[in-house]
Each structure stands twice: as structure tokens, then as C-alpha cells.
Amino acid sequence: FGKNTHKGVAIQLHNDPANPAASIGAVFDPLKFTFTDSWSGGFVARGSNRFGVHDGASAAGSRLFDFTAAGWVIPEGTAKKYIGFYRHGIDVIFTYKLGDATVYDRLWTLDGVLIRSLQIDGQLPPFAKLTLMKADARGEPITGSKFTHANFTSAAGPISIGIHHTTNTPVLRSKGGRVVLAFQKQSADDTVHIQFHNSDTKPLTALSDSDVKATHSPKALVQPAPGQWTCLLYTSPSPT
């Protein structure tokens, strides 16, 4: 889409061989500690030179949400470290440290809605903020008992962003043409679920209680689990 993510890790969030157009991919930037793009219609494409190794990979499909402006805003001089990622079936959970806090970061889909789940173990640096994307607000956020959502206008069209309430729910703001989450004190037992939707015809709704239980939290998914490939392949020596 005209942007490069050096050292980016591409992940496939949803793969439907019967309907490739429904496949969803995303890329995480370990240098910026955030997801920087997402797309639908395929996974990745490679060039023809040297079996695609020379050219790197590019997104195969059309952009879903533009996260190129995303990134953490923390005090200058704060220690930062990318730890790596965990695999849990088809899920990928990225882990990194910001100051004294360890962040577990997961992007996934549910009923056609893209969800980013953040679980923070420890205290984030003071006044920490997470820029989600470039977009302008359309009206004030709507807050319910379990859910806050707001409508925005991005370069790609209208979008909705929602947050499921936790003990210390981050504040969703639009500032300078960017959507920002301002964090308060976080509990390690809380998971911040951020929903992204690009349709005005189907409004965002709060996640059900079963969808926000511990089994869907990023930290729970770093425990041992079955691999993505469940078929066993046996080999034997060729007859002589």
C-alpha cells in the first residue's frame, strides 16, 4: 500500500480457502511495538527473484484498516524492548516491554469485526498513550454500561471504534486527526478489547461476557497449546 515495515511480522487472522476474499492479514512492527496495517482478500505475495527471498513480501489483497500512524506515545528515555511472539493455534500474541510494564498484544476477528486485545502486566509509563490510526471524529463517543464506541471518518471512509469497559478503561479520544487511547492505571487481570468496524449499516455492539473471559485474553493464550498444524507426517527411509 505504498508503505514499508522493516522487520515486520505478517500474520493471518482469518483464512477461508473456500472464500479467499474473506481472508484477513495484518503486520506487526517490532520497532514500533504496534500493528501497522491490515488487509483482506489474501495473505502475502512474493516477487519472482530468487524465489521471493530478494524482494520481501507484500500484502495480497486490499487494505482493511490503515494503522500506519499507530504507535505508543511514552516519555522520552523510557526503556523499551521487543520480546517476541507466541503461537497458540492460529493466534499470534506479541509481547514487549514499555518501562516496567509487559504488554501482551493480540489482533483477532469475531463475526467480521477486527479486535485488538491488550493485556498489561505491570505499570505503564506515566501518561502513556496509544495512537490507533488517523481519523476524524464524527460526534461524541457513546458510553453504555459495558461499552463505549465512537464514529470516525478515515481516508478509506467511515469507521467505528469501540472499547469494552474494564476496571480502568482507557479514554478514547480524537486529537489532531488521530484516534488515541489514553491509559490509566491498568490491572494485570484486565484486558482492553478494542473493536474496529468499517460499516455504518451494522453498528458495533459490546462483546458478550463469554468473549471477554480469560480464555480470550492475550496472556492466557501464551500458555502451552496445540500447534497450528495438527496433521502428523511420518517419513521412512527409501528402500535400497
Which pLDDT tens digits describe the chain residue by residue (240 residues)? Answer: 667 777 889 999 877 777 767 788 999 999 999 999 999 888 887 777 666 566 677 778 888 999 999 999 999 999 999 999 998 888 899 999 999 999 999 999 888 789 999 999 888 998 899 999 999 888 788 887 788 888 888 887 888 898 888 777 888 888 889 999 998 776 556 788 999 988 655 667 767 766 666 556 788 888 776 665 666 667 777 665
Grouping H, G, I as helix, E, B as strand and the rest as coil, residue 20 is: helix
**Burial of 197 by CB count in 10 Å (0-12 exposed, 13-18 middle, 19+ buried)?**
buried
